[in-house]
Amino acid sequence: MGYPRVRFAPSPTGKLHLGSARTALFNWLFARHNKGKMILRLEDTDALRSSKDFERDITDSLTWMGLNWDEGPDIGGPYAPYRQSARLELYRKAAEGLLSDKKAYRCFCTPEELSERKQKTIAQGGTWRYDRKCLHLEEEGEKRLLEEGKPYAIRFLVPPGEITVKDLLRGDIKVDSKEIDDFIIVRSDGRASFHLAVVVDDISMKISHVIRGDDHLTNSFRHVLLFDALGSPVPQFLHHSLMVGVDGAKLSKRHGATSVSDYREAGYLPSALVNYLALLSWSPGDEREIFTLEELTEEFDVRGISASKAVFDIDKLNWLNRRHIQRLSTKEVVQALLPFLKKEGKTELLSLPEEKLEIAVESVRKNMQTLRDALEPLDIYAKPAGYLSPQAKSELEKTENVSEIMEICVSTLSSESSSDSETAQRIISTLRNKAKERGWSAKKVLWPLRLGMTGETIGPDLVYLIMFWGPKGAAERIKKNLGPFVNLDDKEGPRGNSE
Ligand code: GLU
């Protein structure tokens, strides 16, 4: 057997759903692990529900996740075109071939006639399947209807016998063809049905493995029949389990965000989402849980896929996202945050020199579960000097010896000029010592220091704050922030403040 060729075949009738993204991921990992080809095919024959915006959401989301393709509508390939709306002629030809081989037949029944007969059958306690009324049309009768221009659909003539879907995950799944009615392959408006289009495409694109959700299992029986009827070998199937919410129902809007772009927007890293989706019903066979896409590619083996339902668990995704953020360097976290800062119009932060933004991000990153979690804490670095929140103000008002404390802080800060972390730490320990000398707790000095520098009662470690503004800058901020009720303007540090 040659290298595998797999396809991801979304219908652009909505944003890329997490469940479809998982299908894409399994296909991609299978292709990459086995040095095969990944094909992107857009199933856009439903012109009313398909849209370019959804198409863009799907391709952008795949790209964001790192799932590239070797052939597709945008890049072409040996079996182009890769969008179904441009392949209608192929479907028409295939349907004509099936008609002339007597493997399909025209059906002139109108929807009203069908529904009437269906209701009657059901009323009599039967199960409705198409009753093959039009299979038995005399040649003359059919000719007359065609001449009259009566619209018709084309139905596949399901042959008797057993149909077997060979599934890599579930083994052989069999059904008696009596269970399958003569399904429509071309609608009365001339459009090919999903079944015909998929099979014609899978044949002409030389797809070797069809990996998709188990909601397609019943379709696959029809597809096996079509592959046979069109004289083509049947690809190997793998129907993975669907993704469900904690209540066991198919993952849908009522469970919360369901599209990849929603999660991107909410501040999840692509590596975490990919890691999460892969682990949802696949295991490397040991206890490891943190994987990059490269590591997954290396390890991925379809034998590790489980057939049990994949229950979406946001807590696990959050945990993984936190771990993936921790694995990034601070520079990488800054890069990942930039689009969010831009989107939220955080111009003060965006105009900071790179190394300042890095200090700021470094100071908040340990509490981040999502990228968005950094946005509010970072605001502390965007506040103009002179800012004092009401809480900080009332805390300062309550503080005894506030002027003396602030003088100590300002003079200690002003005596240093370097903004590195060692200096900042030295400043903190000097302040601790000065507190001790006066018989105070360290907090008695360090708490007003925080209030004075930031104008807020909560925020990152003091060391980062001092590094960010620099000792002299921090002293200036204290003077400006506390100006209204602590007169520090004329006070100088012990070694003098020449500025
Ligand atoms: N277009 C189908 C869907 O979005 C996929 C068909 C297939 O994978 O065969 O569900």
Tens of pLDDT along the chain (499 residues)? 689 999 999 999 999 999 999 999 999 999 999 999 999 999 999 889 999 999 999 999 999 999 999 999 999 999 999 999 999 999 999 999 999 999 999 999 999 999 999 999 999 999 999 999 999 999 999 999 999 999 999 999 999 999 999 999 999 999 999 999 999 999 999 999 999 999 999 999 999 999 999 999 999 999 999 999 999 999 999 999 999 998 888 888 888 889 999 999 999 999 999 999 999 988 888 889 999 999 999 999 988 998 888 999 999 999 999 999 999 999 999 999 999 999 999 999 999 999 999 999 999 999 999 999 999 999 999 999 889 999 999 999 999 999 999 999 999 999 999 999 999 999 999 999 999 999 999 999 999 999 999 999 999 999 999 999 999 999 999 999 887 667 665 444 333 333 3
pLDDT at 251: 87
Give catalytic status of residue 398 as yes or no: no
- The Å distance, Cα 10 to ligand 1 centre, comes to 6
**What phi, psi does 45 have (nearest 5°)?**
-75, -15
Catalytic residue (one of 35, 52, 102, 253): 253
Residue 217 Cα to ligand 1 midpoint, Å, equals 11
**The total number of residues written for the chain in this structure:** 499
Q: Whose CA is nearest to atom 6 of ligand 1?
A: 9
pTM score, whole prediction:
0.91
Of the candidates 424, 329, 298, 414, the residue with the CA atom closest to the CA atom of residue 29: 298
Pick the residue whose CA is nearest to atom 5 on ligand 1: 9
Task: Give distance in angstroms: CA of 163 to centre of ligand 1.
Answer: 21
**424 close to 466: Cβ distance less than 8 angstroms:** yes
Rounded to the nearest angstrom, the distance between the alpha carbon of 210 and the centre of ligand 1 is: 10
Compute the distance between CA of residue 119 and CA of residue 203 in angstroms, rounded to an integer: 37
Residue nearest to atom 4 of ligand 1 (CA): 10
| pLDDT tens by residue, 288-335 | 999 999 999 999 998 899 888 899 999 999 999 999 999 999 999 999
User: 421: Cβ–Cβ under 8 A, 6 or more apart, which residues?
Assistant: 463, 467
Short-list 21, 6, 103, 115, CA closest to 60 = 21
Sheet architecture: strand order including 184-186:
104-107, 153-156, 184-186
| Strand-pair partners of 165 | 173
Q: Is 45 in the pocket of ligand 1 (CB under 6 A)?
A: no
**Class (C level, CATH) for 390-482:** mainly alpha
Q: How far apart are CA 368 and CA 408, in angstroms?
A: 34
Is the C-beta atom of 11 inside 6 A of ligand 1?
yes
What is the pLDDT, as a whole number, of residue 485? 63
Q: What is the domain partition of the chain in residue ranges?
A: 5-83+244-314, 87-240, 329-382, 390-482
* CATH superfamily placement of domain 5-83+244-314: HUPs (3.40.50.620)
- Return the pLDDT at 110: 96
User: pLDDT at position 484, please?
Assistant: 65
Whether ligand 1 lies within 6 angstroms of the CB of 58 is answered as no
CA count, 13 A, side-chain hemisphere, 332: 8
The correct CATH number of 87-240 out of 3.30.310.50, 3.40.50.620, 3.40.50.460, 3.40.50.2300 is 3.40.50.620
Tokens in use for 49?
């529900």
Give the C-alpha separation, 334 to 163, whole Å: 55
Which position has the token pair 């209807």? 145
Q: Are 468 and 453 in contact (CB under 8 A)?
A: no
DSSP string over 362-415: HHHGGG-SSGGGGHHHHGGGGSPTT---HHHHHHHHH-TTHHHHHHHHHHHHHT
5-83+244-314 and 87-240: same fold? yes
